[in-house]
Amino acid sequence: MHELSITQGVVDICRHAAEGRRVVSVTLLIGELSGVVPEAVEFCFEACTRETPLEGAQLIIEQVPARGLCKDCSAEFHPRAYYSACPGCGGHNVTVLSGEELRVKEMEVE
């Protein structure tokens, strides 16, 4: 489960940014195509924050839907996976516009 190491990385980033202050909440952006399971991150968050300034902090996860743009016909669509064909023309010349995100959006500290 790579979500454990991802969650530990998020906690480390937040601990460093908090500079010793208590963290009240953390908002994460997780893209649909990121390969990260939001429920697994939620499960790992409590364990990773024990005995840190993030202990008891609220974890808010905002899921970012996937959006793709076909470079051949300019159709914008919702790809279900990487390398999804364009539903308009069937082409594979597609750019992912969103859905790959995995980042801390904001953090509230006391």
Sheet holding 23-31, edge to edge: 58-64, 23-31, 102-109
How many structural domains comprise the chain? Answer: 1
Could you tell me the CATH number of the domain that includes residue 45? 3.30.2320.50
Tell me if 9 is assigned to some domain. yes
Contacts of 5 (CB under 8 A, 6+ apart): none
Tell me if 94 is assigned to some domain. no
Which pLDDT does position 105 carry in this prediction? 97
Mean pLDDT of the chain: 95
Which pLDDT does position 83 carry in this prediction? 86
Domain that holds residue 39: 3-65+99-109
Which pLDDT does position 82 carry in this prediction? 83
44, 7 in Cβ contact below 8 A? yes
Q: Which two tokens stand for residue 109?
A: 């500290």
Q: Which residues, given as ranges, of the chain have pLDDT below 70?
A: 1
Please give the Cα distance from 43 to 8 (Å, whole number): 12
| pTM assigned to the model | 0.88
Please give the Cα distance from 29 to 35 (Å, whole number): 13
